[in-house]
Structure 1
Amino acid sequence: MKDLGELKYFLGLEILRSKEGIILNQRKYALELIEKSGLGGAKPSMTPLEQNRKYTSVEYDEQFEKIEDELLQDKSIFQRLIGRLIYLTHTRLDITFAVHTLSQFMQRPKKSHLEAAFRVVRYIKKNPGQGIFLSATKYRSMVVTASEIVWLQGLFAELKITIEGPAKMLCDSKAALQIVANPVFHERTKHIEIDCHFIREKIQNGSIQTEYVRSEDQIADIMTKALGIQQHEHLVSKLGFKDVFQPPT
């Protein structure tokens, strides 16, 4: 057995690492798919499927719609294309629904089905290098917060100030909460340093209690990012601000 170092490319899957996390993409595979489909010079599509477009089977057309839509002479063209698109869904979750919808017509594909599949390929052409970003950012933020909480708890203890119950820590990332709550889940998060996992120990010994909060109710966002008018006003209302100079309504 020979150690070849960190995995960078495997069966069309590219793995890129950084301090922020891991990026999985299939750019090379996507570009080859575009080229093999003969769509190298085609205009990119903004969405995988046309909105409100109904795709039907041949049997349905014959019984209900009476739509004139030619069957493909060589259905293997459509089948191969869908097979390649299915493999691409490993990192392109944004095309999953479109590919699943079209895969229902593998046995007797029509011309409209092939055109829809080509649209998916043109959509991929818009961002062929797009992939999944496995970020440790939320979890790291929780670790930093937990460290501050532990320090404050120690400070209050020295000052003889009694704190009842665990400190409550709110997080809007369900993935991060799963990491700290379920040890079995960590087999898929080995890219996070082991020393970060001390937060689980603090939860288990009752120092900290985690709780999920919806992103739209995450008050901290008003201090960390630019928001739209509605979201900004919504979070401001939760801060409990009062304007004594504003006439009562």
Structure 2
Amino acid sequence: MFSHLDRYRRLVGRLIYLCFTRPELSYCVHMLSQFLQQPKQDHWSGFLRVVRYLKGNPSQGILLCKDKDLILFGWCDSDLATCPLTRRSLTGWIVFLGHSPVYWKTKKQHTISRSSAEAEYRSMATTTCEVKWLKRILHCVGISHSQPMQLLCDSQVALHIAKNPVFHEQTKHIEVDCHFVRNEILACIIQTSYVSTRVQLTDILIKALGRAQFHFFFDKLGIHDLQTPT
């Protein structure tokens, strides 16, 4: 019997709040929070690794720059059936305002994807909804976007589906998402672009990364030690 059940639940709950300002914690907190009912010793060990990381980096955070253009653009990505229990894919997205991340999330997809292209396309459709929502919020405070918002994806197949209606014949099971994204492209709400997998920032939200790759994406996110003298 796991002896730290209540403690595990309480401390994971605190980590969830940290994700509001520490995007690099999203993936590990997502994984740990799936086992609140019956955590094992391995999950407790994983939690302790996160705590050691936080102890070694106590003052990191996001710096919002006031001298940058207030332009929205998003990154989206997905894995393929990595959950060993449900075989559902993880969706991750990061939305930047200028050069600062303002909105991010790691979320398990509602249905099982049968291909990487399908998983990536579901991620693209979800991120499109989120950037449209943020655009409306900015409009309410007097910031308008006349140009299409950039949406960066590392799946060329998903990008071809979005731009070429012929592909819809092969993707009837995700037809609603296909038409939704394509309509937003035709309406010049978003503009999709390809980005190499090696520089796909959203990987930090959906994958367990090595030290070098983790720190590379960490720097690209614009996270700083806020107590370091300027």
Query: TM-score, structure 1 length as denominator?
Result: 0.43
* Greater share of strand: 2
Q: Which structure has the bigger radius of gyration?
A: 1
Query: When the two structures are superposed, what TM-score results if normalisation uses the length of structure 2?
Result: 0.46
Q: Which has the higher contact order (CA 8 A, sep 6+)?
A: 2
